Amino acid sequence: MSGPKKLYIKTYGCQMNVYDSERMAEAMGGAGYVETDTPDDADMILLNTCHIREKAAEKVYSELGRFRSLKDEKPDLKIGVAGCVAQAEGAEIMRRQPMVDLVVGPQSYHRLPELEAKARDGAKALDTDFPVEDKFDTLRHRPRARRGPTAFLTVQEGCDKFCAFCVVPYTRGAEVSRPADRVLEEARDLVERGVREITLLGQNVNAYHGAGTDGGEWSLARLIWALNEIDGLERIRFTTSHPNDMTDDLIAAHGECDKLMPYLHLPVQSGSDRILKRMNRAHTAESYLRLIERIRAARPDILMSGDFIVGFPEETEADFQATLDLIEAVNYGYAFSFKYSTRPGTPAAERDQLPEEVKSERLQRLQALITRQQRAAQDAMVGREVGVLFEKPGRFAGQMVGKSDYLHAVHVSDANLSIGEMARVEIVESGANSLAGRIKAA
Ligand code: SF4
């Protein structure tokens, strides 16, 4: 085998999986691998899987089937499964798909090089432990390659909330917060490599309570204020939050920290107190609406984003109407919505399920409302001046595309702009899913 070995990673699911795939690629870089974007010339294929949606595991098995011919042609090809399906299914994956050489859970990515070596020696490699050692410690040795202007940075993992529909507490484990000095070190490194915007990630990011550099325990707000000190870091975002962990200091930071962007993703899932209770969300629709009021009092122009599940077991038309009423009351800029789907091992999966057609009909109504709100929020930007971080060239010559402070896609025709540049932009037009603007003279 001449030249560096090639690694093909396919990533499914959330931003944290995107972040993890980058870390795994870096770890395998240390083992002599370079990334390839096609499985055809790979020496190792890694599927980084998501367990959030129905039949997630079945999709992985059918995806693996696609690589059988590659494996037949190239017996030395190693195939691995990582991510939340790996954590949930473990050895079952290799029993059902014997061509799989390696299965690794989200907490063991730092052991990937040794697992790969074990598989190269012909043994099956399985690791779905929750090791005591901090994987990030081992994953610290990062390449010096330049990066694009935006990056994800995991600061917290796992969840202690146990919502009745969710597998995350079982696949990602208990909440763990990274020490602040490690997060700051990684952030500085990213900025040195060209990053200007960092999105802090966690399944329950606003429950962050990491060891501070002053020996104390830091909240997410305290961490954000420390990141705020980094020269060259222009924007800070965070996701995904739980309403019960929106602390006073985090709400205040939205009002006072200039680098913290005026966009907040705050899932609520339902507007019915009865369903919120059955979901084990541990808050009411009223308390959520009061929280939104406090956040908007701190930052009046903040753009709110939400998550909704329709068709949760036992949801009545009245419960669903309560969800529509809550959405009307909040008036979201963005919202993501899903039909409830059973997740093996979660409490709600044991309950009587609603007919699929009821779920689909309600999802349609909910998405119609959300689409109206999203469009209205975007249209309201016309005539306003916003900050834009340009990330890539647009479809037309001389056009650049970036994201506004409010996370709207904005395109500007100005041949002098470059990737990573930030500018004040006057919005002149609102399109289907993006805004058009012109550079505001300095
Ligand atoms: S808070 Fe989020 S990650 Fe945690 S159990 Fe609930 S839905 Fe899952």
Tens digits of per-residue pLDDT, 301-327? 999 999 999 999 999 999 999 999 999
Q: Do residues 160 and 285 share a domain? A: yes
CA-CA distances (angstroms) from residue 294 to 251, 254, 361?
8, 11, 33
Show the domain range for 151: 135-379
Q: What pLDDT score was predicted for residue 138?
A: 67
Tens digits of per-residue pLDDT, 80-106? 999 999 998 999 999 999 999 999 999
Characterize the bridge pairing of strands 5-11 and 44-49: parallel
Final residue of a domain: which of 127, 145, 162? 127
Residue of 316, 314, 328, 349 lying closest to 285 (CA atoms): 328
Ligand 1 pocket check for 272: Cβ under 6 Å: no
CATH number of the CATH domain containing 397: 2.40.50.140
Ligand 1 pocket check for 270: Cβ under 6 Å: no
- Give percent of the chain with pLDDT exceeding 70: 96
Token pair listed for 1:
């085998």
Q: Do residues 100 and 148 share a domain? A: no
Average pLDDT, the chain: 93
Mutate to test the pocket of ligand 1, among 203, 246, 278 (most ligand atoms within 8 A of CB): 203
Q: Do residues 91 and 159 share a domain? A: no
- The full DSSP string for 244-265 is GG--HHHHHHHHH-TTB-SEEE
Q: Do residues 195 and 49 share a domain? A: no
Q: Whose CA is nearest to atom 1 of ligand 1?
A: 161
Ligand 1 pocket check for 276: Cβ under 6 Å: no
Query: Residue 216 has what DSSP assignment?
Result: S
Ligand 1 pocket check for 162: Cβ under 6 Å: yes
Q: Do residues 349 and 391 share a domain? A: no
**What is the CA(242)–ligand 1 centre distance, in A?**
8
Q: How confident is the model at residue 130 (pLDDT cuts 50, 70, 90)?
A: confident
**What is the CA(377)–ligand 1 centre distance, in A?**
27
- Strand pairing partners for 33? 5
For residue 276, give the H/E element and its range.
helix 273-278
Q: What pLDDT score was predicted for residue 147?
A: 85
342, pLDDT greater than 70: yes
Non-local (6+) Cβ contacts of 285 within 8 A are 268, 270, 271, 272, 273, 276, 322, 326
Token pair listed for 434:
């993006």
Q: How confident is the model at residue 143 (pLDDT cuts 50, 70, 90)?
A: low
- Strand pairing partners for 7? 35, 44
Q: Whose CA is nearest to atom 6 of ligand 1?
A: 163
Ligand 1 pocket check for 87: Cβ under 6 Å: no
Q: How confident is the model at residue 414 (pLDDT cuts 50, 70, 90)?
A: confident
Non-local (6+) Cβ contacts of 374 within 8 A are 332, 333, 334, 335
Final residue of a domain: which of 108, 127, 146? 127
Q: Do residues 214 and 278 share a domain? A: yes
CATH number of the CATH domain containing 193: 3.80.30.20
Final residue of a domain: which of 102, 127, 152? 127
Ligand 1 pocket check for 203: Cβ under 6 Å: yes
Q: What pLDDT score was predicted for residue 144?
A: 59
Rounded Cα gap, residues 151 and 215, in angstroms = 27
Q: What pLDDT score was predicted for residue 353?
A: 96
Ligand 1 pocket check for 166: Cβ under 6 Å: yes
Q: Which atom of ligand 1 is closest in space to residue 240's alpha carbon? A: 2
Q: Do residues 370 and 393 share a domain? A: no
Non-local (6+) Cβ contacts of 245 within 8 A are 204, 206, 207
Token pair listed for 8:
């093909």
Tens digits of per-residue pLDDT, 43-86? 999 999 998 756 677 888 999 999 999 999 998 999 999 999 99
Q: Do residues 304 and 430 share a domain? A: no
| Better-predicted residue by pLDDT, 142 or 263 | 263
Rounded Cα gap, residues 272 and 343, in angstroms = 22
Q: What pLDDT score was predicted for residue 399?
A: 95
Mutate to test the pocket of ligand 1, among 163, 265, 266 (most ligand atoms within 8 A of CB): 163
Q: Do residues 93 and 212 share a domain? A: no
- The full DSSP string for 80-130 is EEEEHHHHHHTHHHHHH-TT--EEE-GGGGGGHHHHHHHHHTT--EEE---
Q: What pLDDT score was predicted for residue 288?
A: 98
Q: What pLDDT score was predicted for residue 145?
A: 72
Rounded Cα gap, residues 430 and 437, in angstroms = 9
Ligand 1 pocket check for 163: Cβ under 6 Å: yes
| Better-predicted residue by pLDDT, 344 or 6 | 6
User: Which residue pairs from 375-381 have beta carbons closer than 8 angstroms and sit at least 24 positions apart in sequence?
Assistant: 375/430, 376/331, 377/303, 377/331, 377/332, 377/333, 377/334, 377/406, 378/333, 378/408, 378/430, 378/435, 379/430, 381/406, 381/408, 381/427, 381/430, 381/435
CATH number of the CATH domain containing 48: 3.40.50.12160
- Count the neighbouring beta carbons within 10 Å of the beta carbon of residue 4: 14
CA-CA distances (angstroms) from residue 277 to 76, 291, 372?
52, 18, 29
SS3 of 422-439: the string is EEEEEEEEECCCCEEEEE
Q: Do residues 313 and 426 share a domain? A: no
Q: Are 224 and 189 in contact (CB under 8 A)?
A: no
Rounded Cα gap, residues 282 and 134, in angstroms = 30
Q: Which atom of ligand 1 is closest in space to residue 242's alpha carbon? A: 1
| Phi–psi pair at 415, nearest 5 degrees | -65, -15
2, pLDDT greater than 70: no
Q: Say what the pTM is.
A: 0.92
In total, how many domains does the chain have?
A: 3
Mutate to test the pocket of ligand 1, among 166, 341, 346 (most ligand atoms within 8 A of CB): 166
Rounded Cα gap, residues 11 and 49, in angstroms = 6
Q: What pLDDT score was predicted for residue 175?
A: 94
Ligand 1 pocket check for 169: Cβ under 6 Å: yes
Q: Do residues 86 and 201 share a domain? A: no
Residue of 10, 58, 18 lying closest to 341 (CA atoms): 58
Token pair listed for 425:
């932009």
Q: Do residues 238 and 355 share a domain? A: yes
